[in-house]
C-alpha cells in the first residue's frame, strides 16, 4: 500500500525533498535528527552514483504518488546496476527507505504550511492523532487527542513522525473544532527523558543519546523546522538603508530599471498611539511583541506573505543582538517595522550587484508612514529584505515628511502602491 494521507503530493513536500543534498553514509547514525532536513542518505550507500539513482527513485515516488511495489522495482534495478550489497532483508529495507522519506517529507511540508500566520489565526492549535500501526506504542496512544497551541514547546520534540514506522499525524484545528470533538486545550503531557544507546554496529561505534520516552532516537524533532528557522533573514551588515538626513549615492542596479514613481507617497494612514510601544521594556519583550504580530514565537518562525504574494520568514533570528541590547531598530518602534511589512504604502524591488558575493541580489523594500495619535510628524518605517539579509529604518523625525529623503528610498521598480484612504 502507498503512503497516503488523503491527498496528492503537494508543493511544500516536494520542495522540502528537493532541497536536500545527497550525502554518502556508512550507517544510519552518521546523520541524526534534524540533520535529515538537509541531506538525503541511505544507510550504507557510500557511492554517489548509487545514492543519486536511489534519490531519483524516492523523488519519483513522492512527486507522482507511486506505490511501495513500484518503488521496489526501481530499487531492484538500481541495486543490480550498481552491485550494491546492503544490510537487512529486501522487504524491510525498501519499506524503511520508502515510508520514512515519504512520511517525513509530507510532515515537513505540512509544517511549512502550518507556519502561515493567516492559517494560524484561524486554526491556532495542533491536534495529535494516533495512526493505525499494527503494534501501537503505548505512549503514542496516550498522546492521542492531545490539543496544544502550535507554538507550544511540546511540538518541538513530539511532532510526528515519532519513530520508525510511526503513522501518527498532527492536524491544525480551531477552537470550534476542539469544542465539536469534545476535546480540550492542554496541558501538555509530561515529558520524561531516557538515555538510549545507538550505533552498536556502526563503524563509528556506539554512543548515547537522550530522547523523550516513547520517541525513537533520531525522531525527536519537528520535521523541516530547522530548515524554516534557517530561512529567517539575518541582519545585513553592508549597504544599509540610508538613515534620515544622510546623503546617499544612487545604488546601481544590475538589470532592473531605476524608475522614479510619479507623484508622492500615499497620505500617511492614521494609527493608534500604542503602535509606539512603551519606554523601558526589556529588548526581549519588544522582540516578542514584534514576532506576535506575525504569529511567530521565540522558537517557531512563521511565513508571512506580503501584498504581492512574496514570502518573508519571520523569526527570532531577525534580532541576533537583542539579548545584548543592540537592536537594529529602536525597540519601542518595532511595531512600526511590522506595519511596513503588513500594510506598506509602497513596495519596491531592485536588482543590485553585491561585490562581496560577486553576484546580483533581488531586494524588496517596504515603505510605510503612519499618523500616530499624539505625534506631530508622521512615523516612517522602511523594511528591506533580500537573499543576503534584511535592513530596517524607523523614525519619528521630520524625515517622514521630507520629499528629498523619501525619494532616496523609492528606487528600483514599484510593484505595489496603497490607494489613499485604504
3-class secondary structure per residue, 47-99: CHHHHHHHHHHHHHHHHHCCCHHHHHHHHHHHHHHHCCCCCCCHHHHHHHHHH
pLDDT band at 1 (very low <50, low <70, confident <90, very high): very low
In Å, how far are 13, 40, 59, 235 from 56, measured between CA atoms? 15, 11, 5, 37
Q: What is the pLDDT of residue 264?
A: 87
Q: How many CA atoms lie within 13 A of 320 on its CB side?
A: 11
- Among 181, 166, 256, residue whose Cα is nearest residue 219: 166
Q: Is the pLDDT of residue 328 over 50?
A: yes
pLDDT tens-digit series, residues 241-299: 887 765 554 455 555 555 555 688 999 999 999 999 999 999 999 999 999 999 898 88
Reported as type and span, the H/E element at residue 301 is none
Contacts for 227 with CB less than 8 Å, ≥ 6 apart: 16, 19, 37, 38, 108
Backbone φ and ψ for 186, nearest 5 degrees, come out as 65, 180
pLDDT band at 230 (very low <50, low <70, confident <90, very high): confident
Q: Is the pLDDT of residue 324 over 50?
A: yes
pLDDT band at 178 (very low <50, low <70, confident <90, very high): very high
Q: Is the pLDDT of residue 4 over 90?
A: no
Q: Which residue is it, cell 522540502?
A: 16
| Chain length of the chain | 422
How many Å apart are CA 151 and CA 295, to the nearest integer?
9
Over residues 216-223, mean pLDDT: 96
pLDDT tens-digit series, residues 100-151: 999 999 999 999 999 988 899 999 999 999 987 778 899 999 999 999 999 8
Q: What is the pLDDT of residue 25?
A: 92
Over residues 341-356, mean pLDDT: 87
Q: What is the pLDDT of residue 168?
A: 95
Q: How many CA atoms lie within 13 A of 191 on its CB side?
A: 14
The pTM of this model reads 0.73
CB 212 within 8 A of CB 158: yes
Percent residues over pLDDT 70 in the chain: 91
Q: Which cell numbers hold the place of 136?
A: 501501537
Q: What is the pLDDT of residue 240?
A: 76
CA 286 to chain CA centroid, Å, is: 21
**What does pLDDT average to over the chain?**
88
Give the 3-state secondary structure percentages of the chain, helix then strand then coil, rounded to 5: 35, 20, 45
Q: Is the pLDDT of residue 17 over 50?
A: yes
Amino acid at each position: 500500500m502507498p503512503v497516503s494521507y488523503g491527498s496528492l503530493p503537494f508543493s511544500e513536500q516536494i520542495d522540502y525533498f528537493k532541497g536536500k543534498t545527497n550525502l554518502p553514509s556508512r550507517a544510519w547514525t552518521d546523520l541524526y535528527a534534524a540533520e535529515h532536513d538537509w541531506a538525503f542518505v541511505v544507510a550504507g550507500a557510500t557511492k554517489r552514483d548509487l545514492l543519486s539513482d536511489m534519490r531519483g527513485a524516492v523523488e519519483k515516488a513522492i512527486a507522482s504518488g507511486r506505490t511501495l511495489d513500484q518503488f521496489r522495482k526501481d530499487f531492484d534495478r538500481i541495486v543490480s546496476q550498481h552491485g550494491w550489497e546492503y544490510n537487512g532483508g529486501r522487504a524491510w529495507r525498501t519499506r524503511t527507505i520508502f515510508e520514512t522519506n515519504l512520511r517525513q517529507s509530507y510532515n515537513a511540508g505540512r509544517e511549512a504550511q502550518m507556519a502561515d500566520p493567516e492559517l494560524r489565526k484561524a486554526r491556532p492549535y495542533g491536534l495529535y492523532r494516533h495512526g493505525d500501526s499494527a503494534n501501537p506504542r503505548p505512549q503514542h496512544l496516550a498522546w492521542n487527542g492531545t490539543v496544544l497551541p502550535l507554538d507550544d514547546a511540546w511540538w518541538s520534540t513530539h511532532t510526528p513522525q515519532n519513530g520508525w514506522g510511526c503513522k501518527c499525524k498532527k492536524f491544525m484545528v480551531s477552537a470550534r473544532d476542539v469544542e465539536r470533538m469534545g476535546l480540550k486545550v492542554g496541558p501538555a503531557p509530561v515529558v520524561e527523558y531516557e538515555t538510549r544507546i545507538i550505533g552498536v554496529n556502526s563503524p563509528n561505534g556506539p554512543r548515547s543519546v537522550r530522547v523523550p520516552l516513547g520517541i525513537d532516537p533520531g525522531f525527536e524533532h519537528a520535521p523541516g523546522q530547522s530548515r524554516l528557522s534557517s530561512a529567517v533573514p539575518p541582519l545585513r551588515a553592508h549597504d544599509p538603508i540610508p538613515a534620515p538626513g544622510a546623503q546617499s549615492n544612487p545604488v546601481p542596479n544590475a538589470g532592473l530599471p531605476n524608475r522614479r514613481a510619479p507623484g508622492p507617497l500615499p497620505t500617511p494612514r492614521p494609527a493608534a498611539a500604542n503602535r509606539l510601544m512603551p519606554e523601558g521594556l526589556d529588548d526581549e519583550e519588544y522582540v516578542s511583541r514584534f514576532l506576535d504580530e506575525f504569529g511567530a514565537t521565540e522558537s517557531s518562525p512563521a511565513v508571512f506573505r506580503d501584498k504581492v504574494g512574496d514570502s518573508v520568514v519571520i523569526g527570532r533570528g531577525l534580532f541576533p543582538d537583542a539579548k545584548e541590547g543592540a537592536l537594529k531598530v529602536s525597540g519601542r518602534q518595532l511595531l512600526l517595522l511590522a506595519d511596513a511589512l503588513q500594510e506598506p504604502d509602497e513596495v519596491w524591488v531592485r536588482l543590485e550587484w553585491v561585490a562581496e558575493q560577486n553576484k546580483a541580489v533581488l531586494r524588496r523594500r517596504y515603505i510605510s508612514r503612519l499618523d500616530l495619535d499624539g505625534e506631530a510628524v508622521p512615523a516612517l518605517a522602511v523594511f528591506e529584505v533580500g537573499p543576503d539579509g534584511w535592513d530596517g529604518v524607523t523614525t519619528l523625525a521630520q524625515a517622514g515628511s521630507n520629499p528629498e529623503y523619501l525619494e532616496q528610498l523609492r528606487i528600483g521598480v514599484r510593484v505595489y502602491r496603497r490607494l489613499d484612504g485604504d
